[in-house]
Structures are given as structure tokens and as C-alpha cells.
Chains A and B, each alone.
Chain A
Amino acid sequence: MSQQLVFIVFQDNDNARYLADAIMADNPHAEMQHQPAMIRIQADKRLVINRETMEEELGRDWDVQEMLIDVISIGGNVDEDDDHFILEWK
């Protein structure tokens, strides 16, 4: 119960599958759940999406704000810049 979970939910579509893969690669402590039409990823304290990992996954340039199209919900404080999108409880 001492866990303080952050989470992010995506639509279950082709764009988001790359996002989910990138997140799971960069956040080994994260847990992924599939529910109808959505993918929910939660982790204790912190989740990060790295632009670099996404660009490797996709094989093209990727703008961090592109995630806005597929995200459904988030929990945690947001920190966003050109290179990453971070959710965390400090």
C-alpha cells in the first residue's frame, strides 16, 4: 500500500502500440493492462516516454506532443519538454 501509482491510458490502436512498447522498454517497473479498446500502464512513482526510444520504435522523427492524439487519461504530475514526457509523484 506504500505504492504511489502514476498511470497513463492510451487508445488501443496502432499508434499507441508503439507508445506502449517504448514505455515498457524504458520503464521496467511498469505494469501493462489491456481492457476493451484501451491500454493502461501503471508504475510506482514514475513513468517516462522518451522521444529517442519512440523514434527508434517508429523509424521516423516523433514529436512528444503527438501522444496527445492517442492518450485517454493520466495520473501524476506532468513534466514535458522536447525530449520526454514524464509522469511522477515526487
Chain B
Amino acid sequence: MAVKNKKLNLKDKYQYLTRDMAWEPTYQKKEDIYPDESFEGIKILDWSQWEDPFRLTMDAYWKYQAEKEKKLYAIFDAFAQNNGHQNITDARYVNALKLFLTGVSPLEHAAFQGYSKVGRQFSGAGARVACQMQAIDELRHSQTQQHAMSHYNKHFNGLHDAAYMHDRVWFLSVPKSFFDDARSAGPFEFLTAISFSFEYVLTNLLFVPFMSGAAYNNDMATVTFGFSAQSDEARHMTLGLEVIKFILEQHEDNVPIVQKWIDKWFWRGFRLLSLVSMMMDYMLPKKVMSWAEAWEVYYEQNGGALFKDLERYGIRPPKYEDVANEAKHHLSHQLWTTFYQYSHATNFHTWIPTEEEMDWMSEKYPDTFDKYYRPRYEFLAKEHAEGRRYYNNTLPQLCQVCQVPTLFTEKGDATKLSHRQIEHEGERYHFCSEACCDIFKDEPEKYVQAWLPVHQIYQGNCGGADVETVVQKYYHINIGEDNFEYVGSPDHKRWQFIKGMAPQQKGDDEAAEKPNAA
């Protein structure tokens, strides 16, 4: 008598609970059921070749996700009950969270929508299951991030209307347009963009060293949601690599299409992450590693290993990788000096780095910081000290593709602004770089439609004709509370009060209690 297997092994279990749950349609044509699967030109000959390295079935998925949530929310409770916000290294740090909540958390929700949509578009069951799980993960990330930061919203300004701001505020069109671009592409481009280029190649830069930095700055809530989210990302990254290998193995005609998408989405991701460079170098009072160091480990080293592995498929490293690698010495400084000038139109504060911080930057950026950037801060600090805190009242020119102001410099010459322009059907379009210009030229009909915040203000679509009206009424940024210089801000005063550095006087009650806290 044959002994019956007590337990299925992982591979069999996965096979039974995913592939064998799917079926071949009989009375409808496959192309009618999955109409978006072919228009991008990607040829899939055999979906059964799709391999999920993490053979996670739905029952196991819920079991592990439930365990993660229980751990996470126990920590959120402890953090809130013990006034964890009082233990962070410095209130300047909270400004990174303001950027995170308005810039990143809505992307998690956009990813949820994106994976829900493309998960419906693949005729292969393995891909559908992977997209379904990832969609649920992304929704979880969006929710846990909002829960984590709701505690900060009770004590600091600028966190009160993140989703609303994400759709409107000028610099938030950088992350928003990134995901809108991906979500309005076909299903295979979406996966190449988000699963591969973003999740596999680039998100480590945000979720690993920045979150480690959050821990180093005693933000128990953020490091916990960050690492909890990132534990899902390990699966997403694996999916990203699998997607690429699967598409490339299916047909040689797929190779040039995928290469073009890798070039595009590496660059778009790199531009998006310029915001993170500034969070790491400037917004973490205690610093773990510099942006340049993080880029070396997580892109140059890990990306190098990855693209070496993909060589066999005829894939080369992304075009303009050399520009991104060189920019690591400049990126965070160029971004921060720009945001410093536009603090009147942001939901977070900026400041001049302390002497100690500038020395750290000199050490981390020996070839660039003292030469190009320290003198700017010394000038700006002097202006501020003499009562002329500098704000730039000219609206910046935005790149038509990445929507970052055209603030970057040319590779090899940090004194020369990088700018490209072309004419298309009688209109002139501006770009921050050759790479963004290439992306436009490949699909001009898509990027002429870009919703550029500065253009929209000038066209009268943002509630008013002056910056103050736009900021207050259209962006919902509370003037004098959320924006401007950090030093002397209500957040700063509240922090000094918390730390016992300022004696309580009449009027401190308002400073200590955030007026519009729910």
C-alpha cells in the first residue's frame, strides 16, 4: 500500500493553488478577455514558463501578512502612548516625514491601483497572482504609512492634507507624474517600470538606508513601517527580476522594447529619487550614510551585479547611467539649495545646515561640497542673519518629462546648467537633460499632455494669480505654519518647548499645542 504524502511540498502546493486554479477559456477568445496584452509588441509564447521564486500561496500570504501587521500596530500603539515624537533627535527630522507622506505614500496607493489594473490584463495565472498580492501589499503600505504619521500630525505642521496636496502642489507633481506615466502605459511597460526599474533597481535607496536613518534618529514608528513595507518589497523585487527574465526569454523581439523601457524608467526613477538624496543628506539630523555612498552600494554595486546577470539576454546597463553615477556628488546639494529658495511654497521647512553638518558633507563630498556648495550656504546664512532670508519669487522652469525644475548641471561641469529644448508641432518644450528629452521624443503625444504646475499657475488654473493665493487656497498649505524657514517656525518653537529649552511664557500654549490638531 502506497504511503500517502502527509503534506504537499512547497512547489506542488503552489502549483495546485495558483496555476491549477486557472482555466482556459472556451466560449470567449483569449484576446477579447485580455485585450491589452499584445499592443505593446511584447510576444509571450508560453505563460507556463513563468516562475514565481517565492512560492507563496494565498493562505500563507495572509498568515505572514497578519503577523507583520500585529507587530507593526503594537509598535504604533507604544509609540503614540509614550509620546515617541518627543524622543526623535531633532524636529527638523519631521520635515522628511512631511515629504514622505505627501510624496511617497500616495505612490503606494497609485501602485495599488496600478497592480490591480495590470493584474487583470495578463492571461498567465502566475503573473495575475503575483500582481494581486502586490496590489494588496501596496494598499497596506499606503495605510500603515498614514497611520504611522497620524501621530506626528497631532504635534507638527504640514501633515494635514497629504493626498490633496499630492494632486496639486508643484514639487509633488514629480512623484505623481512618475506613477501616472507608468499607470497610463501598457501592462508590460508598467511591470518593467515599477516592478523592475523602480522596485528592483531603485527602491532600496529609499527604504533601506533612509529607514535605517529613521531608526538612527529615534523614529520608532517610521523605521517600523518602513521595514515592514520593505519585507513585502523583497517579494516585489523578486517579481521584478522574474518579470524581466520571463519577457526576455519569451522572444528575442522583446529585447529592444525592454531595453528602451529600462533606459526610460531607470532615468525617471533616478530623477524621482533626487528627492530622497536630499532627505538623506539634509533632513536626517543624525546621518547614517551619504547619498553618494548609498548610490554606490545600492546602485553601482548591486545594479552592476544585476546588469551583468542580464547581459546574457542582450540587455546592457541603462543609457545615461554614467550621468546618474557622476551626479551622486551633486544631487542632494542642488536639490536642497533649490528647496531652500522655495520654502514659501512647500508644506515643509528648510534651513541652512549646521557647521557640523557642513563638515560632514565636506568629508563625504570632498570634490564638490567645499568647492561649489558651502560658499552658497555661507552666503545664504549671511543674508538670513542680516534679515534677508532668501526666497525666490520667480516660478521655476520645469522639465516637461520628470517635472523637476531645470536645476541640474551638466556632467563634468557643475557650473553649467543642464537644459535641452525642442520644438514639436509649433510648441517649444524644455527638459532638464538629454535623457528626459529622449523620453519625450519617443512619445511626444504622451508628454505634451503633462500637467506642469508652473504652467497651470500661469494659465490661471490654480485658484489665483499670486503665489500666496495658490499656496494657501489651492495647495492648502497654511502660511506661516507649514512653510518658510525652520528656525523660528511654530514647529521649531514647539520643539524647544518640548525639550525644555524655552521657558513657558504667555503665548507658549499656542506654540506647544498644535492649533488645528484633530
Contacts and interface: CB of A to CB of B under 8 A. Distances in A.
A65 B53 contact: no
Contacts of B9: 81-82
B372 interface: no
Nearest to B53: A78
B10 A4 contact: no
Interface string A45-75: 0000000000000000000111011111111
Interface string B11-22: 100000000000
Contact of B230 (A73, A81, A89): A73
A23 B207 CA distance: 23
3 closest residue pairs by CB, A with B: A37-B215, A78-B53, A36-B216
A51 B90 CA distance: 43
A57 to B, nearest CB: 20
Interface string B216-236: 100000010001001101110
B309 A69 contact: no
Interface residues of B, number: 40
Interface of B is mostly: helix
A22 interface: no
Interface string A1-41: 00011110101000000000000000000000001111000
A80 B211 CA distance: 27
Interface residues of A, number: 30
A36 B234 contact: no
Nearest to A77: B241
Given A37-B211, A80-B53, A80-B54, A11 B306 contact: no
A13 to B, nearest CB: 9
Contacts, number: 98
A78 B241 CA distance: 9
28 contacts: A4-B304, A5-B301, A6-B305, A11-B227, A11-B231, A36-B213, A36-B288, A37-B216, A38-B208, A38-B215, A64-B10, A65-B10, A68-B235, A69-B67, A69-B71, A69-B231, A72-B208, A72-B234, A74-B237, A75-B237, A75-B302, A77-B53, A78-B54, A78-B241, A80-B53, A80-B55, A81-B10, A90-B309
A68 to B, nearest CB: 5
Given A73-B204, A76-B305, A81-B11, A35 B212 contact: yes
Contact of B64 (A9, A36, A65, A79): A65
B478 interface: no
Interface string B308-329: 1100000000000000000000
B54 A73 contact: no
Contacts of A37: 211-212, 215-216, 223, 227
B207 A72 contact: yes
Contacts of A75: 237, 302, 305-306
Contacts of A65: 10, 54, 56, 60, 64
B68 interface: yes
B238 interface: yes
Contacts of B306: 75
A38 B298 CA distance: 15
Contacts of B235: 68
A4 B208 contact: no
B208 A9 contact: yes
Contacts of A38: 208, 211-212, 215, 227
Given A37-B215, A82-B9, A73 B208 contact: yes
A29 B230 CA distance: 26
Interface in B106-154: none
Contacts of A7: 302
A69 B68 contact: yes
A89 B234 CA distance: 16
